Structure 1
Amino acid sequence: MRFCLMVICKLICHVITWPLTLVRVTGVYRRLFPALAYNITFSYNEKMHHTKRDLFRSVTKFANPDGTLRLLEIGCGSGANFRFYPYGCTVVCTDPNPHFQKYLRRSMDANAHLTYGDFLVVAAEDMPAVDDESVDVVVCTLVLCSVRDVRTVLQEVRRILRPGGAFYFLEHVVSDPSTWTYFFQHVLERLWFFLGDGCVITRATWKDLQAAGFSDIHLKHIEAHDVTFLIRPHIMGYAIK
């Protein structure tokens, strides 16, 4: 009964949100989204501060013997993670949306403890400007929800990581099918897709990580109780090449 109701409600939501397709096609929202995301970042970081701090605490163990650490962040957005990176590491930023650059510069100026490489406007599925096995750590937070192909992204991550390097992730995922969160995730999936500039809230991303071929994965499921209920289920951790 609940499944049938979910399908009906989802169909209604699809019909109602159809006009938003035109907004997405024109690219107008793509220009507006960075400003929205920049402001949301402050709220999310405040609520998830301890989670992010715990996640990135072990990043330094993947530094080179000389102490250098080259870190690449996929979908860096406005630089919300910079404050959690260790002093002196070199950060290379990538994002498919060039309109984030203005806000990214603000975060760079506010986090002078880091050294910054290029800002690459590329999709995560294809980063030809990044050499094979050239980075020690890859970071991806709240990004795998909006890429076109999660498995292709993870293969690209494995390509650019040096042997023994690590991929750090913090992603919202689909809830357990028995929950009302799962119900509303599927009903409102298309509306969220437009509001989140391509964000999909019904992905079981942990399955893609487990199938990606990493030598070791440290992954745990958490509930981010202080954020919007639709994205409370999260996974976090790191995978070693």
Structure 2
Amino acid sequence: MVLVPLLRGCVQLLTLPIHVLAFLGVWDPLCKTTFPYFMSRFARLYNQKLHKEKQQLFSNLADFAGASEPLSLLEIGAGSGANFQFYPPGCRITCTDPNPNFEQYLLKSEAESKHLHFEDFLVASGENLHQVADSSVDVVVATLVLCSVSNVQAVLKEVLRVLRPGGAFYFLEHVAGDRSSWIYFWQQIYDPTWKYIGDGCSLVKETWKDLEHAKFSKLNLQHINAPFNWTPTRPHIIGYAVK
């Protein structure tokens, strides 16, 4: 369709300063510094809008505690710690994020989460969790993370490696809309610019396909529409997968 590249070009022209800064190598370090600040504030709104969905998603976390209770949980791309309020008391948590600038916001959330035990913060990408031992955690969590990783399949491979047998991977991600929908039409137009604004975030990933093809023994996955009518991130998937 000719209209998509035409409108995409218009959006890129309107946001030309961003693309120029990216070309000059200035945008990425600037984004890495400022993105955590804006995400920590967006996370509050996101939790308000999807509080019920998150509460339901994490309601059975304790069921996956292994023999060495309490629950051992690894959160990939923990960001500012927006999920902490939904975790069961006594949960032992290790957080990772590729952006070290999130740590100051994470520490604030940790101080407010007296019901949890925090073990470590690792600066690591989801594709390379070598600091985490094989079969060492009961649960892995990733929310609004797989949209921005470079290789979803590599992340899921690492998730399966670090999970103990019978452990679970919990996810909540915005994804591409149906290819015949208007939302997908606009996602294609905004995507090249959105990646810069969202620190690598892609609007057109069909992440559910990667989950379906990963080697989990059970997949509980739902497609939902988040209450963000004013953004191209409305289509979501939510659920958990068992190793």
TM-score, reference length from structure 2: 0.94
Point out where structure 1 has 5 or more consecutive residues left out of the alignment: none
CA positional deviation for 1:145: 0.3
- Report the more deviating stretch, 62-71 or 214-223: 62-71
Q: Distance in 2 between matches of 1:226 and 1:112?
A: 31
Q: Distance in 2 between matches of 1:71 and 1:228?
A: 33
How many residues are paired up? 239
Q: Distance in 2 between matches of 1:22 and 1:125?
A: 29
| Alpha-carbon RMSD | 1.3
The letter for the 1-side match of 2:178 is D
Alignment map for 1:1-241 (pairs within 5 Å): 3-24=1-22, 25-26=25-26, 27-226=29-228, 228-241=230-243
Summarize deviations over 1:23-62 as a string: whole Å, max 9, x none: 4432112101100111111111100100100100011100
Q: Distance in 1 between matches of 2:68 and 2:157?
A: 28
Specify whether residues 139 and 180 from structure 1 end up closer, same or farther in structure 2 by C-alpha distance, changes over 3 A only.
Answer: same
Specify whether residues 176 and 215 from structure 1 end up closer, same or farther in structure 2 by C-alpha distance, changes over 3 A only.
Answer: same
- 8 Å CA contact 2:12, 2:19 repeated in 1: no
- 8 Å CA contact 1:94, 1:120 repeated in 2: yes
Q: Distance in 2 between matches of 1:182 and 1:126?
A: 31
CA positional deviation for 1:218: 0.3
Residue 2 of structure 2: SS of its match in structure 1?
helix
The letter for the 2-side match of 1:6 is V
Q: Distance in 2 between matches of 1:53 and 1:108?
A: 19
Residue 67 of structure 1: SS of its match in structure 2?
coil
- 8 Å CA contact 2:127, 2:158 repeated in 1: yes
CA positional deviation for 1:16: 4.4
Q: Distance in 1 between matches of 2:228 and 2:126?
A: 29
Summarize deviations over 1:75-128 as a string: whole Å, max 9, x none: 000000000000001010000000001100110011110000110001110011
Q: Distance in 2 between matches of 1:50 and 1:221?
A: 15
Q: Distance in 2 between matches of 1:240 and 1:150?
A: 17
CA positional deviation for 1:11: 3.0
The letter for the 2-side match of 1:175 is G
Q: Distance in 2 between matches of 1:155 and 1:67?
A: 25
CA positional deviation for 1:139: 0.1
Q: Distance in 2 between matches of 1:216 and 1:23?
A: 44
Q: Distance in 2 between matches of 1:128 and 1:227?
A: 39
Q: Distance in 2 between matches of 1:154 and 1:197?
A: 20
Q: Distance in 1 between matches of 2:192 and 2:90?
A: 41
Q: Distance in 1 between matches of 2:198 and 2:85?
A: 24
Residue 78 of structure 2: SS of its match in structure 1?
coil
- Report the more deviating stretch, 41-50 or 12-21: 12-21
The letter for the 2-side match of 1:163 is P
The letter for the 1-side match of 2:119 is G
